[in-house]
């Protein structure tokens, strides 16, 4: 058997959920801010993010994707939905745990630039 080496970026593009072709805006996440978050969304383990947060992060990404309004993310209260301040004042965050957050820009009931970040 011959295995070809495939460029990681090409491989990720093949596996990344393409939200840009969704009909009638059925998906709320329109754009990921980085490859690691897209990998988690697609159920692929990331080596750059702690293993212990990845299942919770994927669940929270699904919550974000199914939200029709920003206030939908207030439930459950453990999300701790916050509008960020300062340089990031166009962004919101929800908690994965005490250290990690999912941040995103919310425009026209859609999420853009969705990223998992170390908040501390």
Mean pLDDT is lowest, of 23-27, 34-38, 84-88, 111-115, for 23-27
Is residue 77 a part of any domain in this protein? yes
pLDDT, tens digit, 9 for 90 and up, residues 21-49 = 444 456 789 999 999 999 999 999 999 99
Residue 1 lies in a domain: no
Q: Cα–Cα distances in Å, from 16 out to 9, 28, 77, 87, 107?
A: 10, 15, 29, 29, 22
| Domains: count for the chain | 1
For residue 85, the domain's CATH number is 3.30.2310.20
Q: Which two tokens stand for residue 79?
A: 């999300």
User: For residues 85 and 15, which has the higher predicted lDDT (pLDDT)?
Assistant: 85
Mean pLDDT of the chain: 85
Q: Are strands 100-107 and 82-83 parallel, antiparallel or unpaired?
A: unpaired
What pLDDT band is residue 88 in, cutting at 50, 70 and 90?
A: confident
Does residue 60 lie within any of the structural domains? yes
Is residue 68 one of the residues assigned to a domain? Answer: yes
């Amino acid at each position: 058997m011959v295995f070809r080496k495939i460029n990681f970026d090409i491989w990720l593009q093949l596996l990344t959920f393409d939200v840009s072709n969704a009909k009638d805006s059925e998906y709320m996440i329109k754009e990921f801010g980085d490859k690691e978050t897209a990998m988690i969304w697609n159920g692929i383990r990331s080596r750059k993010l702690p293993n212990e947060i990845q299942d919770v992060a994927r669940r929270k990404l699904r919550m974000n994707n199914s939200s029709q309004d920003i206030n939908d993310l207030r439930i459950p209260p453990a999300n701790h939905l916050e509008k960020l301040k300062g340089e990031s004042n166009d962004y919101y965050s929800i908690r994965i745990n005490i250290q990690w957050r999912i941040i995103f820009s919310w425009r026209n009931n859609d999420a853009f630039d969705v990223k998992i970040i170390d908040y501390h």
